[in-house]
Amino acid sequence: MEVLAGLRLEELEKIMEELGATKFRAKQIHNWIYAKSVSSIDDMTNLGKDFREELKKRFVVTDTKIKVKQVSSDGTLKYLIEYPDGECVETVLMRFDNRANLTACVSSQVGCAVNCSFCATGKRGFIRNLSAKEIIEQVLTIQRDTGLKVTNIVFMGQGEPLLNLKNVLEALEIFNSDFQIGSRRITLSTSGIVPKISELASYELQSTLAISLHAPNHKLRAEIMPIENKYPIDELKKALLSYVEKTGRRITVEYIMIHNFNDTPECAKELAHLLKDLKCNINLIPYNSVNDTKYKKSSNNDIMKFKYLLEHSGKKVTVRLERGADIDAACGQLRGEVLNSAKSN
């Protein structure tokens, strides 16, 4: 069976032509898929019954399943989504106080090759890239399940989006034109793949680039992020400066707060110095403990002190609210648990 989800309007129009139907039918089906997010062709009630039967001979709406769904007490929803080949990724829906903002956190790869020591995804290595269709299916799955329309997207699930850039860019285009989610409502998060940051700059996208920095210097960063040995912090900084110069866009610097490792006042001062001439906001992320690592989350007090020192240097600093902590919403955790329990069965 062929799958309707992921098809662009032009592709649907071509199919309608093959079926001897009008272009208008393509628009209707497109609307059922991306705006109303139905699960079956039978739900496309403004198509005639005979035409729906005809469609059903060749198509299904989706081939992607929800394997696990968890609901957090703060309203965060976490899904483990399964593709036809049996591979799974995580997708999270966060509702912020402002109800009009529904942010989907999507995965770009199954597993990840970057292998940061604090990350559950990295622990299992790299399995494969996701296609653009598989990326957007995550958002459609959320929309189908909740009946809500996602308004913002962050590439902060599993995988390194800049190591799957071609498919990620194609997904961005579908989010823009088919979902009507503007580029400014989409954030790409990267561990710092320097040549890809330069490539991205040349496209002059309006999306936000978030950099997982997590340390103020080479030595500390190399301890937790092996990518630092390939693309050291000085080169990364140069790439970021030229990204800002080319695109005019402000970068988001992500910084995980790990107790007694990178959360000292000295680290805050060193970070402030490093970022002094970079147009950026800073997002402090309380470390979400992953069972088998030696790290602990910073205390609230240390986080506030750190924030104060950075603000003092003139930066805008936010502390990321912990979302879905009771449902293991941190990167890679749910897939890890399901795999572990499958292994022990």
Residues that bind ligand SF4 (CB under 6 A): 112, 114-116, 119, 121-122, 158-160, 191, 212, 331
User: Rounded to whole angstroms, how far apart are CA atoms 117 and 227?
Assistant: 11
Structure tokens at 307: 């924030």
Nearer to ligand SAH, 55 or 224 (CB): 224
Cα 223 to its chain centre, rounded Å, is 24
Nearer to ligand SAH, 13 or 160 (CB): 160
User: Rounded to whole angstroms, how far apart are CA atoms 211 and 162?
Assistant: 11
Cα 249 to its chain centre, rounded Å, is 19
Cα dihedral across residues 29, 30, 32, 38: positive or negative: positive
**Least distance (Å) from ligand SF4 to the CB of residue 190?**
8
**Least distance (Å) from ligand SAH to the CB of residue 330?**
5
Binding partner of 143, given ligand SF4, ligand SAH, none, CB within 5-8 angstroms per partner class: none
- Catalytic-residue membership of 11: no
**Least distance (Å) from ligand SF4 to the CB of residue 24?**
43
- Of the residues 90, 137, 228, 254, only one is catalytic, namely 90
**Least distance (Å) from ligand SAH to the CB of residue 327?**
14
Binding partner of 239, given ligand SF4, ligand SAH, none, CB within 5-8 angstroms per partner class: none
Structure tokens at 22: 């009008």
Burial of 341 (0-12, 13-18, 19+ CB in 10 A): exposed
Nearer to ligand SF4, 212 or 247 (CB): 212
User: Rounded to whole angstroms, how far apart are CA atoms 305 and 307?
Assistant: 5
Binding partner of 290, given ligand SAH, ligand SF4, none, CB within 5-8 angstroms per partner class: ligand SAH
Q: Helix 265-275 to helix 300-312 angle, to the nearest 10 degrees?
A: 30
Nearer to ligand SF4, 228 or 263 (CB): 228
Binding partner of 156, given ligand SF4, ligand SAH, none, CB within 5-8 angstroms per partner class: ligand SAH
Binding partner of 317, given ligand SF4, ligand SAH, none, CB within 5-8 angstroms per partner class: none
- Catalytic-residue membership of 88: no
Distances (CA, A) of 317 to 9, 58, 87, 244, 260: 41, 52, 37, 18, 20
Q: Which residues bind ligand SAH (CB under 6 A)?
A: 112, 118-119, 156, 160, 189-191, 212, 254, 256, 285, 287-288, 290, 330-331
Instruction: Output the CA angle 168-170-43, nearest 5 degrees.
Output: 105
With CB atoms as reference, the residue minimizing the distance to ligand SF4 is 122
Tell me if 159 sits within 8 A of 192, measured CB to CB: no
Active site residues: 90, 331
